[in-house]
Amino acid sequence: VRQWTLGVDIGGTKLAAGRVDDSGVITRRRERPTPTGDGATVWDALVAVVDDVLAGEGIAQIGVGCGGPMDRAGGCVSPLNIPGWREFPLRDQLQDRYGARVALHNDAIAMALGEQQFGAGRGSDAFLGMVVSTGVGGGLVIGGRPVDGRTGNAGHIGHVVVDPAGPRCTCGGRGCLEAIARGPAVIAWAREQGWAGDGDRAQGPALVATARAGDPIALAALTRAGQAVGVALASAVALTDVDVVAIGGGLANAAGDLLIGPARTAFAAHGQLDFVRGCAIRAAALGADAGIVGAAALVGIDGAGAAD
Amino acid sequence: VRQWTLGVDIGGTKLAAGRVDDSGVITRRRERPTPTGDGATVWDALVAVVDDVLAGEGIAQIGVGCGGPMDRAGGCVSPLNIPGWREFPLRDQLQDRYGARVALHNDAIAMALGEQQFGAGRGSDAFLGMVVSTGVGGGLVIGGRPVDGRTGNAGHIGHVVVDPAGPRCTCGGRGCLEAIARGPAVIAWAREQGWAGDGDRAQGPALVATARAGDPIALAALTRAGQAVGVALASAVALTDVDVVAIGGGLANAAGDLLIGPARTAFAAHGQLDFVRGCAIRAAALGADAGIVGAAALVGIDGAGAAD
């Protein structure tokens, strides 16, 4: 019987869990949409997903990546996109229900750890994983360990300033990468330029599809977002001296080179120091599985939010 | 007899060394201008400074901060501002001459370590020290240890992009903080706006003096540089989650609040996430001594460039 670890990925769109084996492969996976509603409703949905993955087997350790912000020391989460959970005692609730130790971290950091251990960052000793999706986030993995910073928030590349005179950001700042490159901002910019969408399709997939079909506005929107990503990466690599960056998340996974190509071009234009040029900019390799695989990888990282 | 450590600070302008006691106080200090000329000339000047500080006493360990870039693994330095030294085997030369173990790092990282241990960053577990001088540099100290990154170059805040459409940087990029805030760039900008200098005084001190006397162009030049520093810090703190930043270096030490005030204002405008707002932006506390004190502090940091 192969060993497996339970990885749980909690976001505003879906709740997902899986059994992850020692080589980072998910052998049983379940997910359901994140319910809107009160905290108990969200909790019940999470339990249903986890129970389905466990299928009656016990589990000694659970790794959890969850949208931020969170109080990691206390094990309480207040995900921006899950209004029903505010200071929700996720770690204690999971421990009580499953009798398992729980390792908890921000979802972007879990994703980064998954990519570093089993995906596009394999073998890198100084790695930045980033997500371009509804939001823009990231995580640093140095020497095989997630970098926490003082409050567990290191890696917030979405709030690197790429244009001081740029658009307002939801954080209250101005010109953050996230204000330009998050999916809804890319779509809003395309709409302003006259992009008409694609019938009833969801706007993110429609934007990518019309860009692939040659729509110049859709292409320009993804190019603009990719350039902003590249500028932010030039700054991030100068500061952190990582040697591999992987870009994942819903929008980046869908757009592929339409986003990552312009990111590489802008990175090359701005990041000219030798050690910066030596950094590889890659597409993430694990797709939508990175969150679960990375959450499972949190188990075994000392101090990754596990209660004593 | 108090214990002391030898700290050596090697830059393009001066060669400095001092005995540093356990509380970070320099008890005997010597310096001389960095000679222009070949490698042997620079080496002879360095030896004269070190011999003067040693005054015939032996030394078991030497800490050295040196301008970059360098090959830390090999102990060879190629400081941009010391043309006579290219792949100069500084570590082996010092070891051979003094029979001492040598801990070597970039000067900005040594300065950051000095400020973290004995200056404005004391007590911080996640600290960024930066220098605004002829160049703009920095170093991260997390958990009491300098952060190296893959090639020992982490902390290069001077090459964080603060304006993607901004001026060309000496690195080849565009809109780097250094291209706007380094002393020569600040003076060049003031000259372009019509600043006339102050007689025969050196331009850096003259710029600060005329700003203090109310010259609007000189004030605007320092404000512009400070704002760029603040934008870069908003990006850097979002990425690294440090809780204290200290700003030192020749221009910042001279200009004080004329530079750091606008930096704080721009930082507050752009850095709006709670964990970013919680970071303190301080003036460095050790002045011109930070390099020597920090170099001495490299001794005792595992793996800080010491040969085995």
Residues linked to residue B161 through DSSP beta bridges, in sequence order: B176
pLDDT at A1: 54
Residue A161 three-state SS: strand
Residue A39 three-state SS: helix
Tell me whether A105 touches chain B (CB under 8 Å).
no
Which residues of chain B make contact with A242, given a CB cutoff of 8 A?
149-150
* Ramachandran bin of B188, using left for φ above 0, alpha for ψ from -120 to 50, beta for the remaining angles: alpha
Q: How is residue A186 annotated by DSSP?
A: H
For residue B167, whether the previous peptide bond is cis, meaning omega lies within 30 degrees of 0, is no
Residue A23, φ and ψ in degrees, nearest 5: -100, 15
**Residues A165, A132 contacting (CB under 8 angstroms):** no
Scanning A167-196 for CB atoms below 8 A from B yields 169, 171-176
| Residue in B125, B162, B266 closest to A150 by CB | B125
Residue A252 three-state SS: helix
pLDDT at A201: 85
Give pLDDT < 50 ranges for chain B: 305-308
CA distances from A139 to A110, B99, B149, B207 (A): 8, 43, 15, 41
B115's tokens: 């400020």
Mean pLDDT (10-residue bins), chain A, 308 residues: 87 93 95 94 98 95 92 90 94 96 94 97 97 93 91 93 95 96 96 91 92 97 98 98 96 97 98 94 95 94 53
| Residue in B154, B173, B238 closest to A270 by CB | B173
| N-terminal to C-terminal alpha carbon distance within chain B | 29
C-alpha B169/C-alpha B215 separation (Å) is: 27
A12's tokens: 């505003």
A156 to B239: CB separation less than 8 angstroms, yes or no: yes
pLDDT at A236: 98
A278 to B151: CB separation less than 8 angstroms, yes or no: yes
CA distances from A137 to A6, A50, A200, B93 (A): 23, 25, 28, 46
Write the DSSP assignment of chain B as a string of letters: ---EEEEEEE-SSEEEEEEEETTS-EEEEEEEEPPPS-HHHHHHHHHHHHHHHHTT---SEEEEEE-S-EETTTTEE--TT-TT-SSB-HHHHHHHHH--EEEEEEHHHHHHHHHHHHSTTTT-SEEEEEEESSSEEEEEEETTEE---SSS-TT-GGGSBS-TTS-B-TTS-BSBHHHHHSHHHHHHHHHHTT----TTS-HHHHHHHHHHTT-HHHHHHHHHHHHHHHHHHHHHHHHH--SEEEEESHHHHHHTHHHHHHHHHHHHHH--SHHHHT-EEEE-SSGGGHHHHHHHHHTTSTTSS---
**Residues B214, B237 contacting (CB under 8 angstroms):** no
Mean model confidence pLDDT for chain B: 93
pLDDT at B77: 94
Q: How is residue A239 annotated by DSSP?
A: H
**Residues B63, B296 contacting (CB under 8 angstroms):** yes
Residue A261 three-state SS: helix
pLDDT, tens only, B33-63 = 999 999 999 999 999 999 999 999 999 999 9
Tell me whether B280 touches chain A (CB under 8 Å).
no
Tell me whether B144 touches chain A (CB under 8 Å).
no
Q: Which of A116, A136, A142, A150 has the highest number of chain B CBs within 10 A, making it the mutation to test binding with B?
A: A150
Report the complex ipTM. Answer: 0.91
Tell me whether B152 touches chain A (CB under 8 Å).
yes
C-alpha B176/C-alpha B174 separation (Å) is: 6
Q: Which residue of A has its CA nearest to B274?
A: A171
Which strands, in side-by-side order, build the sheet including B101-106? Answer: B26-33, B14-21, B4-10, B61-66, B101-106
A150 to B275: CB separation less than 8 angstroms, yes or no: yes
**Residues B154, A241 contacting (CB under 8 angstroms):** yes
A275 to B153: CB separation less than 8 angstroms, yes or no: yes
Residues linked to residue B281 through DSSP beta bridges, in sequence order: B245
C-alpha A176/C-alpha A3 separation (Å) is: 42
| Residue A247, amino acid | I
How many CB atoms sit inside 10 A of residue B217's CB? 18
DSSP strand E in A34-186: where? 61-66, 70-71, 76-77, 101-106, 126-132, 136-142, 145-146
Question: Cα distance from B214 to chain A (closest Cα, Å)?
Answer: 27
pLDDT at A302: 63
B239 to A160: CB separation less than 8 angstroms, yes or no: yes
A258, A165, A268: which is closest to A218 by C-alpha?
Answer: A258
CA distances from A118 to A111, A248, A300 (A): 10, 14, 15
A102, A198, A177: which is closest to A132 by C-alpha?
Answer: A177
C-alpha A305/C-alpha A168 separation (Å) is: 33
pLDDT at B307: 40
* Ramachandran bin of A217, using left for φ above 0, alpha for ψ from -120 to 50, beta for the remaining angles: alpha
Q: How is residue A88 annotated by DSSP?
A: B
Q: Which of A72, A136, A148, A241 has the highest number of chain B CBs within 10 A, making it the mutation to test binding with B?
A: A241
| Residue in the block written with tokens 């001092």 | B18
| Residue in the block written with tokens 């540099």 | B137
Which residues of chain A make contact with B266, given a CB cutoff of 8 A?
164
